[in-house]
Every structure is written in C-alpha cells, then in structure tokens.
Amino acid sequence: MKPSELRSLNDAQLEERLAELHGEWRSLRFDEAIGRLTATARIGQIRRDIARIHTIRTERQMDAAAHQALTGASR
C-alpha cells in the first residue's frame, strides 16, 4: 500500500491491517520454509508495508505528544 493510503486509515483500521499483514507474512514464511513459496517478492512488500504502518503510528504518537505539550504549556 502507498503511505497516503495508509495515512487515510484511522488507528483501528491500521491495527487491523497490521494484523492481516503479520498473518500473511507468517504464512509466506512457512511456505518458504517448506519450499512451496512462488511469490518471493511478496515477503519484501509485506515487510515494507508493516514498517510503513509502524512509522505512521509513531508519527501520530509524536504529533499527539507535541499537541499535548503545546496545549499543556499554554495553560
């Protein structure tokens, strides 16, 4: 997925997508271990999508903390 598509999702949808990707990644790793995997590039795509989701979650947490610091400091 593109980062812009991921950013348009809310936190619950991001968590759901992350769980789906982890499940698919686990399945592909198993297929690779037993020699049944044909789409080897998909593993890399999933890993990058997982990293993107983690990055977006971190950005949101940092934005929330900065917003909290600004609103708390102005009181």
Give pTM, 2 decimals: 0.89
pLDDT in tens, 21-72: 999 999 999 999 999 999 999 999 999 999 999 999 999 999 999 999 999 8
Report, in angstroms and rounded to the nearest whole number, the Rg of the chain calculated over CA atoms. Answer: 17
Cα distance between residue 48 and residue 31, in whole Å: 19
What ranges in 1-75 are assigned the alpha helix state H? 3-7, 11-33, 41-73
Q: Which SS3 state, helix, strand or coil, does residue 19 take?
A: helix
What the chain holds in terms of domains, given with CATH numbers, is 3-73 (1.10.287.310)
Which residues touch 53 (CB under 8 Å, ≥6 apart)?
Answer: 6, 14, 17, 18, 21
Tokens for 39, please give them: 């789409």
